[in-house]
Amino acid sequence: MLDIKFIKENKDLVKENMKKKFQEDKINLVDEVISIYNEYIVVKGKCDEIRAFINKKSKNMVTLIKENTEEVENVKKEISKKKDELNLLQEGEKKLLTKMREKQMLIPNIIDKTVPIGKDDSENVEVEKFLVPKELDYEIPYHVDIMEQFNGIDLDSARKVSGNGFYYLSGDIARLHSAILSYARDFIIDRGFRYYIPPYMIHGEIVNGVMSFSEMQNMMYKIEGEDLYLIGTSEHSMIGKYVDSILEEDELPIKNTSFSPCFRKEVGAHGIEERGVYRIHQFEKQEMVVLCKPQDSMKFFYEILKNTVDFFVSLNIPVRTLECCSGDLADLKVKSIDVESWSPRQKKYFEVGSCSNLGDAQARRLKIRVKGKDGKYFVHTLNNTLVAPPRMLISFLENNYNQDKTVTIPEVLQKYMGGKKIITK
């Protein structure tokens, strides 16, 4: 959410930013928000005048009571009348603030100047590739077929129990899933991140603070009859942890990593896979979250991006980074780069994580401030997926699948697999 003073002083920039994001239908919001703000300032001024009047009369009344004059009752009536007037004005003031905030939250964040301009994900730009995909002279089966070779997945039973988008993993495949997450935990702790297991449900106030309304509608499961939502990613809990707080500047940067299950409705054109674990309702994830000074946010953006790339490379999985264009950026994001892994079966890359810089958008919504030498300011927040199985299992199994229908376990993962070097039938 952009600061109202920033919008007012830079309205042409805010409108131009909307055009870059191909959101011309929102341009009127800028003038609407400014108009509401101007109206709010007038009402607030009247409220302040009445409060000053009441305070002055209340002080005078102390003297009048001591002198036991007949004016006391008249002053009391005057104060009472002004309080009634103030209450009405305060209701209007509150409504204007709410209306302004609702419209402010629809105005997208100012994108970084390095973001490529494009309408949708078809215009995202490749940045860099890591590891050369192997040239194979044998076919790689579909990932579910590989898992079934080891009796490692049961989608039919999950469909009966929970519906499409759920799964049972078992045996070495389930163990591999856990091993990857254990390795991810230690990998990122070794890079200076503090490990957390966060709450898996959060209040609506936190949801509104960390994401846009459209994202919430398409992603979040709400607990019926309660102000609680199942998290779609542990970033939601980890940013929410600092709601309405004032951090000391020497605490920054705060570098946290968190494990959690994630739950997503996955509403949209892509739909849920009936036979596969690429797009599902439930998965696990190891996340990175950074809170830092505004001037340092791009430095940490590339640091957490590198962590994900290095993690996949350590498992012999070729990846590439893909810059999200302006039209593909969520409204709160300043900049975002996806990490995609190579699929030998499909002979193409697919998304396994996304690194995002949100500037002070989340901090402004959740009132996460820093006490610095020159006063208070809003912290910048960043997040990135280190790994999210079982989707990640697709690239792992395909890239480590052998012609003899076995799967090689990379050396870094072997201790988490009880010393196993290979998975066989």
Residue 341, in any domain of the structure? yes
In sequence order, the 6+-apart residues with CB closer than 8 A to the CB of 104 are 1, 2, 4, 7, 33
Please state, as a whole number, how many other Cβ atoms lie within 10 Å of the Cβ of residue 424.
12
Residue 21, in any domain of the structure? yes
Residue-level pLDDT at 237:
95
Q: Is residue 341 located within the same domain as residue 415? A: yes
Residue 11, in any domain of the structure? yes
Q: Is residue 90 located within the same domain as residue 187? A: no
Rounded distance, CA 109 to CA 113, Å? 12
Model confidence at 31: pLDDT above 70:
yes
Q: Is residue 171 located within the same domain as residue 318? A: yes
Q: Which of 348, 345, 323, 347 has its CA nearest to residue 334?
A: 323
Residue-level pLDDT at 64:
63
Model confidence at 215: pLDDT above 90:
no
Residue 115, in any domain of the structure? no
Residue 110, in any domain of the structure? no
Model confidence at 63: pLDDT above 80:
no
Q: What is the CATH number of the domain that holds 19?
A: 1.10.287.40
Model confidence at 36: pLDDT above 90:
yes
Model confidence at 188: pLDDT above 90:
yes
Q: Which of 176, 106, 157, 100 has its CA nearest to residue 387?
A: 176
Q: Which of 111, 115, 126, 106 has its CA nearest to residue 28?
A: 106
- Decide which of 41, 74, 104 is a domain's last residue: 104
Kindly state the average pLDDT of the residues 375-392. 96
Domain range for residue 309? 121-423
Q: Is residue 127 located within the same domain as residue 224? A: yes
- Cα 165 versus chain centre, distance: 22
Q: Is residue 89 located within the same domain as residue 129? A: no
Model confidence at 269: pLDDT above 80:
no
Q: Is residue 152 located within the same domain as residue 8? A: no
Q: Is residue 156 located within the same domain as residue 259? A: yes
φ/ψ of residue 130, rounded to 5: -130, 130
Element (H, E) at 65: helix 28-67
- Decide which of 51, 72, 104 is a domain's last residue: 104
Residue 114, in any domain of the structure? no
Q: Is residue 56 located within the same domain as residue 175? A: no
Q: Is residue 126 located within the same domain as residue 264? A: yes
Model confidence at 275: pLDDT above 90:
no
Q: Is residue 86 located within the same domain as residue 125? A: no
Q: Is residue 214 located within the same domain as residue 66? A: no
Residue 273, in any domain of the structure? yes
Model confidence at 228: pLDDT above 80:
yes
Model confidence at 272: pLDDT above 80:
no
Q: Is residue 165 located within the same domain as residue 77? A: no
What does the mean pLDDT of the chain come to?
A: 92
Model confidence at 267: pLDDT above 70:
no
Domain count, the chain: 2
Model confidence at 419: pLDDT above 70:
yes
Model confidence at 230: pLDDT above 60:
yes
- Decide which of 104, 130, 159 is a domain's last residue: 104
Residue 15, in any domain of the structure? yes
